[in-house]
Structure 1
């Protein structure tokens, strides 16, 4: 499957990142604007900038996995972020196929997307796996979850194992590598900026909004 030693997510690392020294209080928004430093809170990627599409809108991409508990914890923040983005900005998801354990979840995302049920099942899968503690790990268990959500299991399995999904996962991994993403959740803005040392989920949201505005300003929008 699509694995690489370079892309092995360490849950402990991100957990420490969220609760350690990066927890220092941010400037009070009521008195001063936040200050972010390239190379610290975010990284400017080298051109040519690689976007998911050429649709013209500024892209906010969350690299995530249904296997990642921190993505589950970030999901409510991501939902709020998506709803708060200004016109001309689009929010997208890319499932990270970092290893053989995560690839089935990436396949599941694309099968759900093809069947038009991501809106219904995205947060529900996180809840079932991490809050309700249902065993959702193997391809069979994942398929059973979607069947419990009213999805045709046979169609789901057929789509998730299709050549189209194979190609999409291969393309995703190449894009994620080009962005230098090695953990989740990570946000990439317009293929140009990658979030880095953010400390907390509210900080990740605030940084993303700041990068979006920065990109809109540079585009004269």
Structure 2
């Protein structure tokens, strides 16, 4: 179970303000302070919460512990969507390709991508743990096969399955969709939370897990 103290430690690392426990009477959100509107909104993103992140980002790793709770707290009809940033990390492109393949496989099997049964979730968790807990760098860009194998082993699929999956039109469409990640990340870095495809929450304005959830719900209604 996520606690306020656990989330406060993440915020401390991000240089955020003192944790606010009383958020029930929070002031209305202010554009320019709590969030900004993207110059190029994402198409077909109504009722979505998108997280732009990277396996190589330490704060993305810390936030990953709270993502299931954030996703489960969304209003009915709203959908959480991960966007992996391929420009960060020695193997960002490989990670994006594998994640996209696994997400499509999970969806085809009717598996929630944030559940313990999800192949995507298993691979993502393996990379986070290897990179941030074990300091594994897979040769610093010189051993892409080893990097890929880590994710394949965690997800339980073969390299042949991955290569075949990469040709799927749905996988390619997903990777195309994720190309917007770079422009979003350039505003304030990652993790970046985008609501309704156009409202980017400033992470520096987040004071607690409850506060983040409240900001998301408010922006979803705009």
Normalised to the residue count of structure 2, the TM-score between the two structures is 0.70
TM-aligned CA distance change 1:173 to 1:147, over 3 Å: closer
TM-aligned CA distance change 1:26 to 1:34, over 3 Å: farther
Contact 2:23 2:211 in 1 (8 A): no
* Number of the residue aligned with 1:209: 214
User: 1:35-63 CA deviation, whole Å, 9 max, x = no partner?
Assistant: 542112210234x7423x36xx6100000
Post-superposition offset of 1:185: 0.5
* Number of the residue aligned with 2:50: 61
TM-aligned CA distance change 1:214 to 1:87, over 3 Å: same
TM-aligned CA distance change 1:179 to 1:67, over 3 Å: closer
Q: How many residues align?
A: 195
TM-aligned CA distance change 1:34 to 1:90, over 3 Å: same
Post-superposition offset of 1:186: 0.2
Unmatched tracts of structure 2, length 5 or more: 1-9, 107-118
* Number of the residue aligned with 2:148: 143
User: 1:8-51 CA deviation, whole Å, 9 max, x = no partner?
Assistant: xxxxxxx998443x323437225x325542112210234x7423
Normalised to the residue count of structure 1, the TM-score between the two structures is 0.71
TM-aligned CA distance change 1:129 to 1:205, over 3 Å: farther
1:76 equivalent to 2:65? Answer yes
Alignment of 1:103-114 (within 5 A): 103-114=93-104
| Partner Cα distance (1:187, 1:163) in 2 | 27
RMSD: 3.3
TM-aligned CA distance change 1:178 to 1:70, over 3 Å: closer
